[in-house]
Structure 1
Amino acid sequence: MDDCLFCKIARGQIPSRKVYEDDEVLVFHDINPARPVHLLVIPKHHITSLATVSEADIPVLGRMLAIANRLASEQGSPDGFRVIINTGRIGHQEVPHLHAHIVGGSEPVGPMLKRI
């Protein structure tokens, strides 16, 4: 998509602090980190959200998760991390391009959800 922020980052039209890149995915530091380690993992081809994936997307989804542990450890979270994929309005997805947040650091990330 021509106007998608993450597609522009994947094409190199917008700079990012790259951590990893291969033919399928790009990983870069979040511009507004919530934790000491806060990486974004995106597929290079446009997928709007988890709500729009198909079976054809299984390889890239697996690739996104397969590299998470190594990158989290290399970036300063060797004792664990959290992977978050926000989906749609209810899931508070801010950029309409599938992306996984890898968050961690030296301290626990806290409870999974605030109980209501």
Structure 2
Amino acid sequence: MASDYQEIKQKTIGLKYAINGLIFAFKNEINMRVHVLVTIIVIMLGFFFQVSFTEWVLLFLTFGLVLSSEVFNTAVEMLLDYLAPEWHPKAGIIKDLTAGGVLIASSIALIIGAIIFIPKIITWMM
């Protein structure tokens, strides 16, 4: 029985740390706040335009991709700032690479959003 309690306790603590990380990213990273704002706007547009179940799935996959990418980018940047407080060319390249990953995720999200919403907007305007 004690092992069941320890497992539940460990999962609860892990969840607490994960939530703390998300709160930190939201409070300290403007890009995270921008991504969350865009996510909220897209969700509202999804309700307005009554997107299909499949479109919702695609939208939520892209939300997860973009927000996760931003969290990983933030973590890598903070780690490099801690390990290499003075500027180093390799640290700069690593930061650029993770930022590039966020750019790719955001670009894919934009393309998927355009594919889903542009036809709906055109139909709505006519």
TM-score for the superposition, normalised by structure 2: 0.29
Bigger share in strand: 1
TM-score for the superposition, normalised by structure 1: 0.30
